[in-house]
Amino acid sequence: MSALMQTTIQAYLDNMPDFHDDPTLELACQLIARPSLTPQDQGCQAMMCARLEAIGFTIEHLRFDDVDNFWARRGNDGPLIAFAGHTDVVPTGPEKNWQSPPFTPTFTDGKLYGRGAADMKGSLACMVVASERFIVAHPDHKGSIAFLITSDEEGPSINGTVKVIEHLEARDEKITWCLVGEPSSTERVGDVIKNGRRGSLNGRLRVLGKQGHVAYPQLAANPIHLATAALNELCHREWDNGNDHFPPTTFQISNMQSGSGAENVIPGDLDIMFNFRFSTESTEDGLKQQVISLLDQHGLNYELVWRLSGLPFLTAAGELVDAARSAIKAITGEDTTLSTSGGTSDGRFIAPTGAQVVELGPLNATIHQINEHVDMEDLKTLSLVYEDILKTLLAR
């Protein structure tokens, strides 16, 4: 980010009196003001690192390809609780449709507007400020606190958290508990926390036919017609029944393309993209085998490429889940609900190391939308919840 842009942002923030009595809101605004479209970071991580260094964290900058990441740790002993999150945001869409510029943090009717307010710069601010308060009150806390922050969560997620975890695993540095700041709440902050996620398996299928004239179908092979029965069966198959923690596995076609654009040409191939969101009752290999078997039964000539986005994971009741539930109850009075619904998160890269993983953040009602926003009081509350979790797990 240029010096001119930094000066402009700071001048704007200095003229916003609403947050100066609350460090969480102030930091959230400073982060939102940086247009960190994935995989750009635009100085967000440097700002966080400066705050963390000031309270005794050792910072390790980890850049992989075009992605900025950092690992910050305070303490050398276990147990280790890590805050995990991302500074990158999704594109804004047409800025003219926003009620205020998406990278100009704006307060309206008790809400903070801006791209990343809920997903997840608000959570990052809550994490940092909660750690600052906790360390002031408990400078000799047990164990260690860490931050694992990436700018590659909203993108392909290949040079971010997964690479940092590989780096930590290579030197046998283990996370005991991980608190991911993804927006998990639905109606009130803390009403839902994610203690697991479904797996995500993607497929790219090309059904091969033979191009020809629509008036002479006997001389062609229409791949759309050939694939219809198989696709219908895939869409209506019951893959599993789920279990107490996960809903049943689902299959969805997300893209389908075929044809030359001409009305009188039978296409020569059909390209399909599909996705499984799968529970622990199904496996990657099992789903692949079922799809291949079905396509073969229908006698299709096809090419199929798979990509696994993440395996399902679950953190059962234990220290981290109990600490989160207790903190939410103490601060909000809310009896939280455990859930594994929704999309994937970077928790899928952390859980396989043996860490207990919980996702807890603000309301998700406006994430990735025009006029993304978060309630100002919710950020203050969330910061207190994070601090209470630290107290429960690490205070002497």
Cα distances (Å, whole numbers) of residue 177 to 153, 200, 315: 20, 23, 10
Structure tokens at 220: 């062609």
Structure tokens at 55: 């309270």
Q: Which residues pair with 204 in a beta bridge?
A: 273, 305
CB 102 within 8 A of CB 114: yes
Could you please report the per-residue DSSP string of 63-91? Answer: EETTEEEEEEEE-SSSPEEEEEEE--B--
CB 126 within 8 A of CB 185: no
Residue 40 three-state SS: coil
| Active-site annotation, residues | 88, 153
- CA distance linking residue 307 with residue 279, whole number of Å: 17
* Tally of CB atoms within 10 A around 158: 13
Element (H, E) at 255: strand 250-258
Could you please report the per-residue DSSP string of 299-354? Answer: T--EEEEEEEEE--EE--SSHHHHHHHHHHHHHH----EEE--SS--THHHHGGGT
